[in-house]
């Protein structure tokens, strides 16, 4: 091999020399990189454990503190005999809730005051206008028009749902159509009380194990079937016949 | 001992080769699954994607947003086209190919765009949409690993101009770079969805 060729590729690492250099300078055992990386990972795990430990030692509300229905829950209808109570945790922007809505309305029309029908808020952060819609419904509730706003929101879900921008102006329009006192509505819709009211429903839902919407409870029991009209009707009939 | 080319580099051909060879297909697979789920969702709007596990871990609520199609077509298509290039580069390096500087710089440019995009999506996911999508998170992790090691590799080999002292210091603790990076993102996720995580404890 001509000696001139060795000089043509100066950038090529000389493995033997490199190995020798490592042996001279490198310390035995773990490399610095591994040590530092493991230390950082260890520190992160320690922080995580600390957070979990602090959280676990904090006093928690006693089990059963969350009620399926509370005094202030919105009832669309109230049965005198109190035999059947359906509770729906819903998000006005959730498509599955919109899909269940016609069946629910059919059921409500059919049974009227023979069943207690309760709607509770469970807005999901993934829906950009879920909270705005819940706040609009709650603001309407403060003027005795919860049911009307609930109907408006679901009837028009396709028109306002699944857009990034705030649909609060659309909801104001619905409020105006319902003949609400607009000054009061505007004040309520942005108030912390209304926001807290929505949150407290959702907190109950979370404590009850609600993970998605709609989640129904029939007489306090979580309804696990698909909430079709037929399935809900069967549950209602069963409750009424008992 | 790492810069003059006479010693063995810290980011060896083997190391960068393996990172690209494993990272590329991992990213491509995640993009592929997302693309397939997107098609399923288009066929049937009531379809629940396999990664919609709970209100926070939910691909469905992410895939239907405008951010999921920033350039007018579903984002996963970008990953589907780009990650195989990363994989092929890794395989070529492992096979002993010596790639020219322009190749490494092109890959670096692609990785930079990718990592910037992924962080924009991270911000959107956390602070606009308010949900996480598991397959997207795979892409975030892969992108950060590829970008970290590719940049360190290119700086060490002199493909990228970089101050020696900074490069040397980072090379000495190379795996801490993506680790710290990912830990910061993990921390942000932990804080953002604290209300939800705390209910799981």
Choose the mutation target among B3, B61, B159 for the interface with A, i.e. most A CBs under 10 Å.
B61
Q: From CA A183, how far away is CA A82, in angstroms rounded?
A: 37
Global pTM reads: 0.60
pLDDT digit string, tens, across residues A154-205? 999 988 987 778 888 899 999 999 999 888 898 898 888 999 999 999 988 9
Residue ranges of alpha helices (H) inside chain B are 13-43, 59-63, 76-94, 101-123, 134-156, 164-172, 176-192, 194-200
- When pLDDT is cut at 50, 70 and 90, the band that residue A66 belongs to is low
User: Phi, psi at residue A88, to the nearest 5°?
Assistant: -120, 120
- When pLDDT is cut at 50, 70 and 90, the band that residue A23 belongs to is very low
Task: Rank A84-88, A221-225, B50-54, B149-153 by mean pLDDT and report only the highest.
Answer: B149-153
pLDDT at A28 over 60: no
- Residues in contact with B51: Cβ distance below 8 Å, sequence separation at least 6, in sequence order: B37, B57, B58, B59, B133, B134, B135
CA distance A173 to chain B (A): 25
pLDDT digit string, tens, across residues A109-119? 999 889 999 99
pLDDT at A99 over 70: yes
Q: Which residue has the higher pLDDT, A75 or B64?
A: A75
The ipTM of this complex is 0.79
Beta strand A85-90 with A74-77: parallel, antiparallel or unpaired?
unpaired
- Least CB–CB distance from B6: residue in A14, A40, A44: A14
Concatenated DSSP letters for A92-146? TT-HHHHHHHHHHHHHHHHHGGGSEEEEEE---TTSTTHHHHHHHHHHHHTTT-H
Does the beta-carbon distance from A17 to B131 stay under 8 Å?
no
Give the A-side interface with B, CB within 8 Å.
10-15, 17-19, 21-22, 25, 32-34, 36-37, 40-41, 44, 51-52, 55-56, 95-96, 99, 124-128, 162, 164, 206-207, 211-212
Residue A98, CA atoms < 13 Å, CB-side half-sphere: 18
- When pLDDT is cut at 50, 70 and 90, the band that residue B1 belongs to is very low
Choose the mutation target among A6, A9, A13 for the interface with B, i.e. most B CBs under 10 Å.
A13
What pLDDT does A122 receive?
Answer: 94
pLDDT at B4 over 60: no
Does the beta-carbon distance from A37 to B5 stay under 8 Å?
no
Q: From CA B86, how far away is CA B83, in angstroms rounded?
A: 5
Q: Assign residue B38 a region (left: φ > 0; alpha: ψ between -120 and 50; beta: otherwise).
A: alpha
Contact residues on chain A for B175, CB-CB shorter than 8 A: 33-34, 37
- Residues in contact with A128: Cβ distance below 8 Å, sequence separation at least 6, in sequence order: A93, A162, A163, A164, A165, A166, B128, B129
Neighbours of A223 (CB within 10 A): 18
On average, the pLDDT of chain A sits at 83
Q: From CA B178, how far away is CA B108, in angstroms rounded?
A: 16
Does the beta-carbon distance from A10 to B5 stay under 8 Å?
yes
Beta strand A74-77 with A221-223: parallel, antiparallel or unpaired?
unpaired
CA distance A149 to chain B (A): 24
pLDDT at B127 over 70: yes
Q: From CA B118, how far away is CA A212, in angstroms rounded?
A: 27
Question: Which of B152-188 are b and which e, b meaning 16 or more Cβ less than 10 Å from the residue's Cβ?
Answer: bbbbbbebbebeeeebbebbebbbbbbbbbbbebeee
CB A130 within 8 A of CB A124: yes
- Residues in contact with A50: Cβ distance below 8 Å, sequence separation at least 6, in sequence order: none
CA distance B78 to chain A (A): 23
Concatenated DSSP letters for B83-141? HHHHHHHHHHHHTT----HHHHHHHHHHHHHHHHHHHHHHHIIIIII--B-HHHHHHHH
Beta strand A116-121 with A85-90: parallel, antiparallel or unpaired?
parallel
Q: From CA B133, how far away is CA B124, in angstroms rounded?
A: 12
Q: Give the relative orientation of helices A168-177 and A130-141 as an angle to the nearest 10 degrees.
A: 30
What pLDDT does A58 receive?
Answer: 73
pLDDT digit string, tens, across residues A218-236? 988 888 888 888 999 999 9
Q: How far is CA B22 from the centre of its chain?
A: 12
User: Phi, psi at residue A48, to the nearest 5°?
Assistant: -60, -45
């Amino acid at each position: 091999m001509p000696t001139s060729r060795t000089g043509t590729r100066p950038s090529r690492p000389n493995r033997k020399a490199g190995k020798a250099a490592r042996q001279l300078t490198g310390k035995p055992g773990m490399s610095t990189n591994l040590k530092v990386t493991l230390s950082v990972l260890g520190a992160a795990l320690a922080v995580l454990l600390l957070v979990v430990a602090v959280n676990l030692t904090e006093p928690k509300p006693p089990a059963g503190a969350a009620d399926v229905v509370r005094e202030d829950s919105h009832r669309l209808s109230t049965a005198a005999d109190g035999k059947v109570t359906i509770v729906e945790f819903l998000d006005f922007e959730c498509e599955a809730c919109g899909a269940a809505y016609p069946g629910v309305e059919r059921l409500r029309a059919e049974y009227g005051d023979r069943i207690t029908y309760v709607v509770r808020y469970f807005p999901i952060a993934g829906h950009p206008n879920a909270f705005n819609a819940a706040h609009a419904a709650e603001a309407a509730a403060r003027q005795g028009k919860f049911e009307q706003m609930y109907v408006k929101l679901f009837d028009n879900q396709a028109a306002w749902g699944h857009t990034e921008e705030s649909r609060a102006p659309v909801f104001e329009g619905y409020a105006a159509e319902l003949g609400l006192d607009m000054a009061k509505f505007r004040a309520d819709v942005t108030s912390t009380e209304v926001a807290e009211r929505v949150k407290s429903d959702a907190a109950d839902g979370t404590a009850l194990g609600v993970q998605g919407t709609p989640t129904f409870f029939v007489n306090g029991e979580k309804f696990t079937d698909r909430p079709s009209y037929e399935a809900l009707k069967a549950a209602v009939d069963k409750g009424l016949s008992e | 001992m790492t810069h003059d080319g006479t010693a063995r580099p810290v980011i060896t051909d083997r190391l960068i080769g393996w990172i690209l060879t494993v990272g590329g297909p991992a990213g491509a697979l995640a993009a592929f699954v997302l693309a397939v789920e997107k098609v399923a969702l288009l066929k049937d709007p009531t379809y629940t994607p396999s990664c919609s596990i709970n209100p926070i871990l939910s691909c469905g609520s992410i895939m239907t947003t405008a951010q999921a199609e920033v350039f007018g077509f579903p984002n996963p298509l970008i990953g589907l086209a780009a990650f195989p290039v990363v994989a092929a580069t890794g395989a070529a390096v492992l096979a002993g190919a010596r790639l020219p500087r322009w190749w490494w710089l092109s890959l670096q440019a692609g990785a930079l765009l990718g990592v910037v995009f992924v962080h924009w999506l991270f911000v959107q996911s956390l602070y606009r949409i308010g949900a996480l999508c598991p397959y997207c998170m795979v892409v975030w992790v892969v992108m950060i690993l590829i970008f970290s090691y590719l940049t360190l590799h290119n700086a060490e080999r002199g493909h990228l101009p970089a101050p020696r002292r900074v490069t040397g210091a980072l090379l000495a603790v190379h795996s801490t770079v993506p680790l710290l990076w990912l830990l910061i993102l993990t921390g942000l996720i932990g804080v953002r969805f604290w209300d939800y995580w705390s209910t799981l404890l």
